[in-house]
Structure 1
Amino acid sequence: MSDQELSRRSSKYTPRKAPEGERLATSAMIASLDSEGRDTIAAPFGHALVDMAKDRDDIVGLTADLSKYTDLHVFAKAYPDRFYQMGMAEAVMVSAAAGLAREGFTPFATTYAVFASRRAYDFIIMAIAEENLPVKIVCALPGLTTGYGPSHQATEDLAIMRGMPNLTIIDPCDAVEIDQATRAIADHPGPVYMRLLRGQVPNVLGEYGYQFKMGKAQMLRDGRDVLFVSSGFMTMRVLDAAKQLQADGVDCGVLHVPTIKPLDVETIVAEASKSGRLVVTAENHSVTGGLGEAVAATLMRAGVHVPFRQIGLPDAFLDAGALPTLHDQYGISVDAVTASVKSWL
């Protein structure tokens, strides 16, 4: 099934009908991640790179045959002499990026998250992380953002990459944060792995006056009954779930944690220590080895004992299909999040 065919089958929460004689098309990377009516921003990663590259001739882009599907084509069009198409060879791509970094460049290497974390892991370790080189590995299709099945669903990438020394890991929420995080990681002196939403990406954090800070978690809203600790597009989901729960008299706080490693231990412990709240982690990742387990270990080591639950993907190979159906099935849709929290209170 092609990207276009899957995209047309993956409508958003409310099914839409195309005008007679026309077919609806959405991006396979972003389809069904957000509710209808939210503003979107096109290709925030690609446009941020182009903007930075105007003043920084050290920025270069590499991809493993996926420029269109990681929004790197925007950069390639603007700066063709600083763009490298490496073909379907992730190990070659990250090794070349390491070489460019040694020569003073700041390489942004893009592919799908499954290919970076599974295929290129050893090369990232040996060529980039061990040498602490400033290579930025930016990967689309994180977690359950595609209906293609286990071959493309990077449900365990954070667990894999968290064990790598020297590596900073970023899981941004929306277009605002992708733009800001791209600029921040360009200035970071070491290697970075960043998950990516591409195409028409929702603007969620704009209304909160949000400013990304590497290594820092930030409270988006406070609440007395539940504390959501979330990352990635699940922050979109828990913000919407918090509004639904508010209507039922449940007051929810949302602590957004875009930097998975190094974790903002101080803020997480301080917020979780406030008495009387159920702590619920929410992530677009397996419940094994991701944000939820990192937060649980953090609280245990700090001696903070609170009611604790995880929302995440199961430790299993997931089905293929339309994203709204899969998100409901695996408990990460807004309605599923709301229902889970109600069952725990």
Structure 2
Amino acid sequence: MSTTTEKKPRLTTSAMIASIAGEGQRVKAAPFGKALVELAQERKDIVGLTADLAKYTDLHLFAQAQPERFFQMGMAEQLLMAAAGGMAKEGFVPFATTYAVFGTRRAYDFVHQVIAEENLNVKMCCALPGLTTGYGPSHQATEDLALMRGIPGLTIVDPCDALDTEQAVPQIAAHQGPVYMRLLRGNVPLVLDEYDYKFELGKAKVLRGGRDVLVISSGFMTMRSLEVADQLKADNVDVAVLHVPTIKPLDEQTILAEVARPGRLVVVAENHSVVGGLGEAVAGLLLRSGTVPKAFRQVALPDAFLDAGALPTLHERYGISASAMSQQIKSWL
């Protein structure tokens, strides 16, 4: 047992604080918290609220910089969303943080009725989306996109990395209306700076071209897709990657233009249940538009309650590691 631990130290990392960064990968610490602190220096209407999770959503940096604009609501996510809605009515731009399971499952009616129905200017930034914790179904928000996509008028953002996250913060603040952003916190991987990338709310971006496979991805699965593209290059498989950081509204024009290019297998990769996320959003778009790709497949989490454990093990088990995704794509070609 001790020998195994020495060889694979990542597997013993706490399930709650584990990073999605690979060993030796470049990271930036707390990109959300730092970006919000910088934005709040320019905009006096920015306030921050959390449900007893400032440290675990990087909002503690905002609390230290702007204590008079920080509100600790305690373990009461319904109150968190209701208070954020009330502050938005008074002209503030509230950034409300908690874990995604609590912000969606527990506070859903308050998001729906208090915030979204009145189109209030609340920015909900929720950590531990999908399979980014090993704490099991109580903390794994594997269905958050399905829930939130069903709310009219709600903008949904799923950043890939630190660059995506820090650039998204001022743009979602400038957007008029409610926003749900999946939050990467702590030491967040940095990959998109190598692709001359800039986040634009509502826009999908082609990160690399490829003749054989088109991977349409969001969140950290874009990072995985880029890794897969490098791996499959050795097998003479040319993989294009289209990053879709805004889940709702979809950049339909860009997606349809890329899918319309002939002869490519289309794969949607997401850190979410196979039900109700980006995959079904893209599939619905293709059906409605009459666009038929060579073949359409999904890399996603199963429609199931997932196990607890170490993230590298779980990502491999559920098919969202780079190695598992590479093997799956090769089997489809």
The TM tier, using the shorter chain, reads over 0.9
Is residue 125 of structure 2 the alignment partner of residue 133 of structure 1? no
SS at the partner of 1:70? coil
Residues 1-345 of structure 1 mapped to structure 2, 5 A cutoff: 15-16=8-9, 28-31=16-19, 33-306=20-293, 307-345=295-333
Partners of 1:155 and 1:285 within 8 A in 2: yes
Note the C-alpha offset of 1:25: 6.2
Task: Report the equivalent of 1:6.
Answer: none
Q: What letter corresponds to residue 241 of structure 2 in structure 1?
A: V
**1:16 CA displacement:** 3.6
Contiguous gaps of at least 5 residues in structure 1 = 1-10, 18-23
What TM-score, normalized to structure 2? 0.96
| 1-structure distance, mates of 2:13, 2:314 | 19
How many pairs were matched up?
327
SS at match of 2:56: helix
Distance 1:104 1:29 in 2: 35
Task: Indicate the SS of the match to 2:42.
Answer: coil
Letter in 2 for 1:153: Q
User: In structure 2, do the counterparts of structure 1 residues 337 and 25 end up closer, same or farther at CA, with 3 Å as the change threshold?
Assistant: closer
Deviation at 1:30, TM superposition (A): 4.7
**Distance between the aligned counterparts of 1:49 and 1:221, measured in 2?**
30
Q: Distance in 2 between matches of 1:246 and 1:29?
A: 33
Matched-pair contact (CA < 8 Å) for 1:159–1:288: yes
After TM superposition, give the deviation of residue 305 of structure 1 in Å: 1.1
Task: Give the TM-score normalised by structure 1.
Answer: 0.92
Measured in 2, the distance between the counterparts of 1:47 and 1:86 equals 21
Is the CA contact (8 Å cut-off) linking 2:49 and 2:71 kept in structure 1? Answer: yes
Measure the CA separation in 2 of the matches of 1:63 and 1:144: 22
Structure 2 Cα separation of the partners of residues 80 and 197 of structure 1 = 23
Letter in 1 for 2:237: V
Secondary structure class of the residue paired with 1:54: helix
CA gap 1:51/1:26 in 2 versus in 1, 3 angstroms: farther
Moved more, 238-247 or 34-43: 34-43
- Look up the SS of the partner of 1:37 in the other structure: coil
**Inter-partner Cα distance in structure 2 for 1:94 and 1:198:** 20
- Report the 3-state secondary structure (helix = DSSP H, G, I; strand = E; otherwise coil) of the residue aligned with 1:331: coil
Is the contact made by 1:40 and 1:203 (CA closer than 8 Å) also made in structure 2?
yes
Is the Cα–Cα contact under 8 Å of residues 218 and 245 in structure 2 kept in the other structure? yes
C-alpha change, 1:27 and 1:47, in structure 2 (3 Å) is: farther
Please say if residues 18 and 311 of structure 2, whose CA atoms lie closer than 8 Å, have aligned partners that are also in contact. Answer: no
Q: 1:26 to 1:177 in 2, by over 3 A?
A: farther
CA shift in 2, pair 1:205/1:29, >3 Å: farther
- Residue 35 of structure 1, CA deviation: 2.2
**In 2, Cα distance between equivalents of 1:211 and 1:29:** 28
C-alpha RMSD of matched pairs (Å): 1.5
Q: Per-residue deviation at 1:39?
A: 1.1
C-alpha distance after superposition, 1:103-162 (max 9, x if no partner): 110000000000011011111111110110110000000000000000000000000000
Distance 1:265 1:157 in 2: 21
Moved over 3 A (4+): 24-30
The amino acid that maps onto 2:28 is: I
**Structure 2: distance between partners of 1:160 and 1:115:** 12
**One-letter code of the match for 1:35?**
G
Structure 2 counterpart of 1:130, one-letter code: E
Residue identity in the other structure for 1:333: S
